[in-house]
Amino acid sequence: MTVLVFTFVLVLGNVLREVLGLMVSGQASIGVVFEAVLLLIPLVVVYALPMGMLTAVLLVFGRFSADQELTAARAGGISLLSLCTPILLLSLAMCGLSAWANMDLAPNSRSAYTSLFAKFAKTLSVSQLPEGRHIKDFDGYIIYIGRKQDGEMRDVVIYQLDQGTNPPSTFLAKRANVEFRTEGTNRWVLINLFEVQVVALQDDQPYLSSLDYFQIKKDASSLDRKSDKTSIRNMNFMQLRAERRAIEERVLGQSHELGVGARQQFVETQLAKLTTPIQVVMNRQVAFSFACFGFTLIGIPLGIRVQRRETNIGFAIAIVLVVIYYSLILLGLSLDNHPRWHPQLLLWLPNLLFQGVGAVLLWRANRGL
């Protein structure tokens, strides 16, 4: 039940943040939203499963201890270790499920979700340009939107940069709109300017003119090319291995023309630089799969020590432990571009810490200390 609760909360948060906006704006139908929700479930299960396991263990063993049932079990000759062995075996089974979700199901779902969302986000990115900011997405131009009103942009300032044949110019438009047009195999983003004042430089002298209409055109296929290559964070474990192997072969091929000493240094430096981010993602997928076991191992003795009937205490402890665990994971992920820190090994620190502390606490609780 706790897993379902956490899954619902995490899915709801993502839906409100991203998917719901598409439906409200009319860019996505109910069917697309439903598909996006289904793709989100595997993404959040990898987090909800360890959190649910930890919360359930804290609540169950907290009540078990508070009701003096543990004392009665010990009086009957049943040790704590015997009582919690089935729970630990269940957590190992959940680790297997987590491994499948982390290493295959979640990356594939994330890739499909990104593709689904990008299909609509590209249109939104050009039809809902932010106001009050300088936009540099259009080659050769810097765009500033004063405000937006009635589906149009108002008080638009566009700086045309020096492009060799075209001198620097400034366009001041009272209003503007955006189109997304397809012509055969070509796709274009068009910004239409109305009631335009143009300040241009001719022979180093400013020249002022007025235009009723002016259009800026950008090839939208560049937006597609940016999303052609799958991000390593969206790759499953086998894809990551293949990507790492391809990088290794490419680096070795580039080193053939170097001397022996230079070749070894070049290979080590380049491999560390190019493969460390991939190794970080691979190790995160594997290491995070053992979160259920670590949370269970540390949750059992902590639940016994709390000895409270209130569920609020169990939830509070669960939140603190989850924050600590995920903070250490995020620390390793943030260092993926610093090979000298070996971030792929840092990702195993939360498991070692939780399992080590949990084993000691469980041993002490089993001895009644």
Where do the structural domains in the chain lie, given as residue ranges? 2-125+266-366, 134-225
The structure's pTM equals 0.64
Q: For residue 222, what pLDDT is reported?
A: 54
Q: Which residues contact residue 228 at a Cβ distance below 8 angstroms, ignoring those fewer than 6 apart? A: none
Over its C-alpha atoms, the chain yields an Rg (Å, rounded) of 29
DSSP state at residue 230? P
Q: For residue 161, what pLDDT is reported?
A: 77
Instruction: Show pLDDT as tens, one digit a residue, over the chain (369 residues).
Output: 667 776 777 777 666 666 665 565 555 567 777 777 788 888 888 888 888 888 888 888 888 877 778 778 877 888 888 888 888 999 999 999 899 988 888 888 888 877 776 665 555 444 456 667 677 767 777 888 888 776 678 888 888 876 555 567 888 998 888 877 777 667 777 888 899 988 876 666 777 888 889 888 777 665 454 444 567 777 888 988 888 888 888 777 766 656 666 667 767 777 778 888 888 899 999 998 999 999 999 888 888 877 555 556 666 777 888 888 888 888 888 888 888 888 888 899 999 999 998 889 888 888 766
- Beta strand 152-160 with 141-149: parallel, antiparallel or unpaired? antiparallel
Q: For residue 226, what pLDDT is reported?
A: 47
Q: For residue 129, what pLDDT is reported?
A: 64
- Beta strand 134-135 with 205-219: parallel, antiparallel or unpaired? unpaired
Strand, coil or helix: 101: helix
